[in-house]
Amino acid sequence: MTATRKLAGLAIFLLAVFVLVPALIAATGRKDLYYTLTSVALLSIASAGVWLTFYIGRINMGQGAFALMGAYVAAVLVTRYGMSFWWTLPAAGLFCALASLLIGLPILRLRGVYFAMVSLVLTEVTRLLALAVPITEGAKGITNIPLPGAISLFGITLVPDFSTMENPRIAFYYLAVTLMVIAFAAMYRLVNSRIGHICMSLQQNEELASSIGVNIVHLRLIAFAISSFLGGVSGAAFAAVTQSVYPSSFTVTDSVNFMLNCFLGGLGYVFGPMLGTLTLYFGWNLLFQTGEFQLLIYSSVMILLMLVLPNGLLSLGEGRRKG
Amino acid sequence: MEQVIANGLYLGAQYALIALGLTLIFGLMNVLNFAHGQMYVLGGFITYAIYGQLGLPFPVAVLASGVSLAVIGGLMERYLFRTVIRRSHREESTMLLAAATAFFFDAVILLIFGEKQRGVPKIVKGVFHDFGIILPYDRIVVAVVAALMIFAFILFMKYSRTGRAMRALAQDRVAAQLMGIKVDRYTMIGFALGAMLAGVVGGLLVSITGVNSGIGGPISVKAFLMIMIGGAGVVGGAIAGGFILGMMESVGLTVLREYGDVTYLVIFAALMIFLAIRPNGLMGKPWG
Amino acid sequence: MMNRRNTLKTVALGTVSAMALLMGSTLHAAANEKLKIGFVGVTSGPAAAWGTSNVRSMQTLAAWYNETGGVKIGDKTYDIDIVTFDDQKDPKRAVEGMEKMAQEGIHYVVGPNVDDGAAAVRPVAEKNNIIYFPYAFPKELYTPPASNAILGMIANYQSGPAIYKYLKENKGVKKVAFVAANESDPLSQRDGGVAAAKALGLEVVADKDTYQNDTRDFTPVLTPIVALNPDLLVLSGVAPANAPLLIRSARELGYEGLISTETAQDAKVLEEGAGELANGFISVGGASTPAIASDRMKEFVARYTKMFGEYNDESNTKVYALDYILETMKANPAAIDNIDEFKKTIDTFSAPNPYVKGDAKLNYVGTTSFGQKRQISVPMVVNEYKDGAFQTLFVGSVD
């Protein structure tokens, strides 16, 4: 793909999410879609993290743990210490990145399904920790989290206080897609950098990569930390949107879903997790009027998709180009 | 304390049996079968329908569970997993397929059998009560059957032609193929066998713990834990993992109860530390 | 189609009949204007039983009303249309569901079924003028400044003390043990129960024992508790699927005291799962025991059974929410799309309770617990399970 085509693609995408989608929503009056798309954007950020760990050859089923951690860090900082929401976003991300370094050091040695399982157990451990640790308020959860405040620079209000808005959902939508664009831009940059290429080689053969002098332990830790950072940011933003956090806010189911999003979109494509999240999350919603048959239809479509496109939705474009 | 150990042994036997089928499928195809728990649930409901509702003898019902699931498993391998494995670049992609089939089974089971917890009349009444141990007779029967089944399964894998072929497959697929083993056929048989085990266990345990449409997912996750402890893809590992997890739960629940809500936190954290020290479980292949 | 548990054939039949029902109701609906009432709750996954009994109660009632000509509110007659959303017990999805309800222009929603979901939908409900009826107990949902949530059942902190007091006075209970799943709702209910038991001067011998909700064998959980020899074992917030397993394990371990819970249970589930071992098990129900059920309640059960193949006793408490919504609207037709009118009517509303024999009333309560009327008054029927059915132990009330 040439540079101009890439730029054009980027411009179209930005136009779509920042202008076209809100315009369409305004035209059709489907205001509920703001929350749906906000969720998709935030969940796809967490999925992007999972995708990155796939990229270094690890099946990550622990992203729910970091999303939950991030949500609690943000909630505690806002409600207990009165910190501004805008600072809690990076704070939650950094906390999760640090936590993931500590956890990752021993468990990143594991491979394949062993890593998958340990990370799954990590999700459950985090949930139980949230129930047991005093600062999280245990089973009662943290509720009534205030909406994000204003951002001003030199006395000029850049972002107004969310609670003064007529519909904060719209603001959350812009916030979520902005975060998503930043996250995926960074991912794209990373994957196409020298480090990205080395990661790719890790995925194929760790022994070989280490024999040519790559410090794979460091690399894996960094990738896992970035992944967890994204999970934390996503969780923190969700806490602000729903204004509450419970130990059950992110569970094993979410961890598995993050992973499924990556599979569905396609493990070989940076934007796979975004499309996968959109399809899986939005698909469930589209089917809500089918009542008791919802899960049946949903799972049948998933099986069919897998049979037709086992390498993910984005492999569709690739096949066409080849043929 | 005797009671705690007896509980642990019983729970372990139950767990080991659940883990066997999962580890067999994993060993043969590298597929982490997310639908394992759902297969167990389906087996349970078939036994419920035949023994509990129609009133046919319990062994007939359990047999029917096993046969139905074997057929379903065989079909799943032939028409779903084989296709996806052949066409995908990365074998992990089967995880999405497995998860999708798990959802599918969940949906079907919920539609057919409803949302309620189901149970069947006890197969044997009465409770054994001696030597400081209390154990209902039906649990003893199930534990003995479980032990016999595990034993028979090991013999089958070790000495039968099919079993040997499957072990060869699990060890080295390419080599097995070169040796003239019909890979496709034995993979299908293996998958069917794994599914059958899940169905039989489901049928057997419905007499003790009943069954409901929502427990498939959690059972899968628990079975994953067991095969990780023992070592994925190894029959001995699944058995060891089942007993270890059963014992950990039983002892943990008694010893840690004073510390409150942390019982399971400690059990799971211990599991993570264990796996960090032994990255392939007790006896797993050095890869995953 | 009478019994959907049996064979595969019933699926086909069930599908066809469900479609027929669906089409039938839409065809019929052409006559009257539609009044949409929402449901956001869990109808799939491990907790499917909670939401299913809930939504089916609503659908049964709606089909009944529509069949008999609709509901007259003010000078218009409406057909009731139940819009359902399965939140899969995920608070993020619950918010989604509430947004959908707002989009559909719905102002009255039943659900969610659990604490986290109820807390998460609160901002959406308040922003979009939705009154919702959660089956969740956190007091802050119902206490000012919150005003859009109305508790749809009796909270454990209301029924628990009454049950313990009764058992203390009538059955000589002195030592109590609590056991709960390690999740938000059961743990909160356990903490409430422990406090209530202590306030009554009972000795609490176990208040920290927990289990994973997906536990299938409860013997290891109960072994140390049974050894403490309590007079009463409270299964706090127990899921209906787990209750028979817990009871069976406790009895088989030789436990001889009483067992109780503060949540609604299903007699059939208990019978199949624990048989005669469940005799004497105490739970809180609605109005299906023969001693108090009115003819209308009996017809409701019959219609529910006909529509879905099998009744669920959990619906005894869940039959009420929809009627409260409709009856309040009848009392003040302006409330149909104006929740401020609804809130005004809450304070004075009163109508006969059609599901219970005698002259019981439908009205809003909760002043003692929440400082405002944000709870529907449901007869607090404390049941004892006996040989496949519930028997009324005593009937209490909440103010």
The 10 Å Cβ neighbour count of residue B53 is 15
Q: Are C215 and C242 in contact (CB under 8 A)?
A: yes
Q: Of B248, B251, B135, B268, nearest to C224 (Cα)?
A: B251
Arithmetic mean of pLDDT over chain C: 86
Determine, for residues B228 and A298 on separate chains, whether the beta-carbon distance falls below 8 Å: no
Q: Measured between beta carbons, which residues in chain C are less than 8 angstroms from residue B114?
A: 4-5, 52, 309-310
Over the stretch A234-249, which tens digit does the pLDDT of each residue have?
A: 999 999 999 999 999 9
From 3.10.50.30, 3.20.20.210, 3.40.50.2300, 3.40.718.10, which CATH number describes the C156-263 domain?
A: 3.40.50.2300
pLDDT score of A90: 95
Q: Predicted ipTM?
A: 0.89
Q: How many domains does chain A have?
A: 1
Interface probe for C, chosen from A28, A32, A170, A173 (most Cβ of C below 10 Å), is: A32
pLDDT-derived band of residue C4, with 50, 70 and 90 as boundaries? Answer: very low
Domain membership flag for residue A11: no
Determine, for residues C46 and B260 on separate chains, whether the beta-carbon distance falls below 8 Å: no
Domain membership flag for residue B225: no
Q: What is the nearest CA distance from A84 to chain B, expressed in angstroms?
A: 32
Cis bond before residue C145 (omega within 30° of 0)? yes
Range of the domain at A166: 31-322
pLDDT score of B198: 93
- Partner chains of A (3+ C-beta pairs under 8 Å): B, C
The 10 Å Cβ neighbour count of residue B161 is 8
DSSP C373: -
Q: What integer is the mean pLDDT of B55-78?
A: 92
Range of the domain at B89: 10-214
Q: What is the nearest CA distance from C290 to chain A, expressed in angstroms?
A: 31
Residue A5, burial from CB neighbour count under 10 angstroms (0-12, 13-18, 19+): exposed
Domain membership flag for residue B112: yes
Domain membership flag for residue B220: no
Q: How far apart are CA A305 and CA B93, in angstroms?
A: 12
- Asked if residue B260 has pLDDT above 80, the reply is no
Domain membership flag for residue B247: no
pLDDT-derived band of residue B287, with 50, 70 and 90 as boundaries? Answer: very low
* Residue of chain C whose Cα is closest to the Cα of B6: C220
Cis bond before residue C230 (omega within 30° of 0)? no
Domain membership flag for residue A46: yes
* HEC readout, chain B: CHHHHHHHHHHHHHHHHHHHHHHHHHHHHCCCCCCHHHHHHHHHHHHHHHHHHCCCCHHHHHHHHHHHHHHHHHHHHHHHHHHHHHHCCCHHHHHHHHHHHHHHHHHHHHHHHCCCCECCCCCCCCEEEECCEEEEHHHHHHHHHHHHHHHHHHHHHHHCHHHHHHHHHHHCHHHHHHCCCCHHHHHHHHHHHHHHHHHHHHHHHHHHHCECCCCHHHHHHHHHHHHHHHCCCCHHHHHHHHHHHHHHHHHHHHHCHHHCCCHHHHHHHHHHHHHHHCCCCCCCCCCC
* Residues C31-153+291-379, CATH architecture: 3-Layer(aba) Sandwich (3.40)
Domain membership flag for residue B51: yes
Over the stretch B88-128, which tens digit does the pLDDT of each residue have?
A: 887 778 888 999 999 999 999 988 888 888 888 887 787 78
pLDDT score of A1: 57
- Asked if residue A67 has pLDDT above 80, the reply is yes
Give me the residue spans of the domains in chain C: 31-153+291-379, 156-263
Q: Which residues pair with B127 in a beta bridge?
A: B136
Structure tokens at A217: 């332990």
Q: What one-character-per-residue DSSP string does A14-35 give?
A: HHIIIIIHHHHHHHHT-THHHH
Domain membership flag for residue A22: no
pLDDT score of C61: 93
Q: What integer is the mean pLDDT of C302-311?
A: 90
pLDDT score of C19: 54
Angle at B238 between CA B236 and CA B242, to 5 degrees: 120
Minimal Cβ distance to A243: which of C114, C123, C183 = C123
Q: What integer is the mean pLDDT of C230-250?
A: 91
Over the stretch C114-123, which tens digit does the pLDDT of each residue have?
A: 888 999 999 9
pLDDT score of A237: 95
pLDDT-derived band of residue C1, with 50, 70 and 90 as boundaries? Answer: very low
Over the stretch C308-365, which tens digit does the pLDDT of each residue have?
A: 988 888 888 888 999 999 999 999 999 998 999 999 999 899 999 888 888 888 899 9
Q: How many domains does chain B have?
A: 1
Q: What is the nearest CA distance from C356 to chain A, expressed in angstroms?
A: 31
Determine, for residues C184 and A246 on separate chains, whether the beta-carbon distance falls below 8 Å: yes
